[in-house]
Amino acid sequence: KPVVAIVGRPNVGKSTIFNRVVGERISIVEDVPGVTRDRIYSSGEWLNQVFNIIDTGGIEVGDEPFLAQIRYQAEIAIDEADVIIFMTNSREGVTAADEEVAKLLFRSKKPVVLAVNKVDNPEMREAIYDFYSLGFGEPYPISGSHGLGLGDLLDAVIEHFPKKGNDDDDDDKIKFSLIGRPNVGKSSLVNALLGEERVIVSDIAGTTRDAIDTELKYNNKEYVIIDTAGMRKKGKVYETTEKYSVLRALKAIERSDVVLVVINAEEGIIEQDKKIAGYAHEAGRAVVIVVNKWDAVEKDEKTMKEFEQKIRDHFLFLDYAPIVFLSAITKKRIHTLIPMIELASENHSLRVETNVLNDVIMDAVAMNPAPTDKGKRLRIYYVTQVGVKPPTFVVFVNEPEIMHFSYERFLENRIRAAFGFEGTPIRLLTRARK
């Protein structure tokens, strides 16, 4: 999906526009930690084109001065986006800060669409002419609070989207990413993986379209590690902020089939780990939990079991995710990682037979009758798998309102008991039979 970033000095109305573009997509229902997305990254749609959008204004870098802040935000937009919406404000006209942002954006050579916000009525259109001086062509007058002009602005934005080429040539490759807070050992893990004897790393120059990813082969299967360059390069000031690392994680999760949630064994599980894992679950990606730095933990026979229980307690929603204990430094159990990724990926795109599935469900109903509501009992007619990545099932019933969360959970458990699906979330949707 193309990525659009909104930049501009504070108070020009960036988040108002962000929220308008994102619409209700941002409200997420599931009861999983971390799913109330930080309102900096979400998806939008215009004229059937789906894209992701970043509000760089939501990313603040320490207590740097004003001008430095907006410079960082502009750099983030340049690094992360395919198209940039440069927002200004008709009330204050062109300011020095606008000119500063313009300079950076101009040098980047990324496509920029200039928006002038707070043009709330036609009489105010006069004000936009000053903005031609910023050097990005026609300024688009908009009104965030009145919702005016957005259509024309988005028309101009999608005009700049990269044209779809033969982008689907790596659909058969297993794409995975390593997600976790700084210093859990993601880059060390990547290096350890790439150094494995049976791993063959593709010749980057020749084969990789997207230089930030790394392609490899293992057992004759092809894999792509998403965003490996981003993982290894460190140095820009904003890379250390939590919001930015969340943004990178969300972008990587989006492009992955399998997400490795990396936890530092020395430090245990913290809130940010849960949040990141929550994103992966919510996005419907396969998940493997990786406990790194296992070498640094003092242990006896019980330590691993105890740590595993701790993980299960913290990540109740990830009960399907396998856990691997390893060390990037000593390389212990590194060789188990790729086979685990393969397993999770296979289950992620597993299709089961409809008749077997229905036998499982009918047995389940016989064992534990469906819920009732106001004297009416839920009747399950049949179940069918409608999709993969993640496996998605539709349960056809008499009245969907009677379905209860706990009963859905029970059915999911029966499906898992029958088919496994280790490593992947599955989705159950309840629909009325027509």
Near ligand GDP by CB under 6 A, which window of 132-140, 146-154, 199-207, 290-298? 290-298
- Interacting residues with ligand GDP between 170 and 189 (CB under 6 A): 180, 182-188
The burial class, CB within 10 Å (0-12 / 13-18 / 19+), for 162 is: exposed
Q: Which residues pair with 213 in a beta bridge?
A: none
Judging by DSSP bridges, how do beta strands 376-377 and 83-89 pair with one another? unpaired
Near ligand GDP by CB under 6 A, which window of 122-130, 154-162, 287-295, 367-375? 287-295
Q: Given its phi and psi angles, is residue 421 left (phi above 0), alpha (psi -120 to 50 degrees) or beta?
A: left
Q: Which is nearer to ligand GDP, 16 or 187 (CB)?
A: 187
Q: Largest alpha-carbon pair distance within the chain? A: 76
Q: How far is the CB of 226 from ligand GDP (least distance, A)?
A: 14
Q: Which is nearer to ligand GDP, 9 or 293 (CB)?
A: 293
Q: How far is the CB of 293 from ligand GDP (least distance, A)?
A: 4
Give the x-and-dash track for 134-173 against ligand GDP (CB under 6 A): ----------------------------------------
The residue of the chain with the least Cβ separation from ligand GDP equals 185
Count H helices, E strands: the chain?
A: 13, 18
Give the x-and-dash track for 187-226 against ligand GDP (CB under 6 A): xx--------------------------------------
Q: Residue 128 gets which letter from DSSP?
A: G
Near ligand GDP by CB under 6 A, which window of 208-216, 327-335, 354-362, 421-429? 327-335
Can you tell me the distance from the alpha carbon of 383 to that of 397, in angstroms, rounded to the nearest whole number? Answer: 9
Q: Which is nearer to ligand GDP, 16 or 327 (CB)?
A: 327
Q: How far is the CB of 294 from ligand GDP (least distance, A)?
A: 7
Is 263 in contact with 289 (CB distance < 8 Å)?
yes
Distances (CA, A) of 327 to 177, 182, 214, 299, 394: 17, 16, 21, 14, 41
List Cβ neighbours of 88 (8 Å cut-off, separation of 6 or more): 8, 12, 94, 98, 114, 115, 116, 117, 131, 134, 139
Applying CB under 6 A, does 336 fall inside the site for ligand GDP?
no
Q: How far is the CB of 182 from ligand GDP (least distance, A)?
A: 4
Q: How far is the CB of 298 from ligand GDP (least distance, A)?
A: 12
Residues in the chain: 434
List Cβ neighbours of 418 (8 Å cut-off, separation of 6 or more): 356, 357, 360
How many CB atoms sit inside 10 A of residue 204's CB?
12
Give how many residues touch ligand GDP by CB under 6 A.
16
List Cβ neighbours of 82 (8 Å cut-off, separation of 6 or more): 2, 3, 4, 110, 111, 160, 161, 162
- List the one residue from 231, 291, 318, 370 that touches ligand GDP (CB under 6 A): 231
Q: How far is the CB of 295 from ligand GDP (least distance, A)?
A: 5
Q: Residue 125 gets which letter from DSSP?
A: G
Near ligand GDP by CB under 6 A, which window of 71-79, 91-99, 292-300, 414-422? 292-300
How many CB atoms sit inside 10 A of residue 47's CB?
8
List Cβ neighbours of 110 (8 Å cut-off, separation of 6 or more): 77, 78, 81, 82, 83, 84
Q: Which is nearer to ligand GDP, 270 or 296 (CB)?
A: 296
Q: How far is the CB of 304 from ligand GDP (least distance, A)?
A: 15
Q: How far is the CB of 327 from ligand GDP (least distance, A)?
A: 4
What are 354's two structure tokens?
Answer: 């409809």
Q: How far is the CB of 265 from ligand GDP (least distance, A)?
A: 8
Near ligand GDP by CB under 6 A, which window of 65-73, 111-119, 159-167, 322-330? 322-330
- List the one residue from 50, 211, 296, 432 that touches ligand GDP (CB under 6 A): 296
Residues that bind ligand GDP (CB under 6 A): 180, 182-188, 231, 292-293, 295-296, 327-329
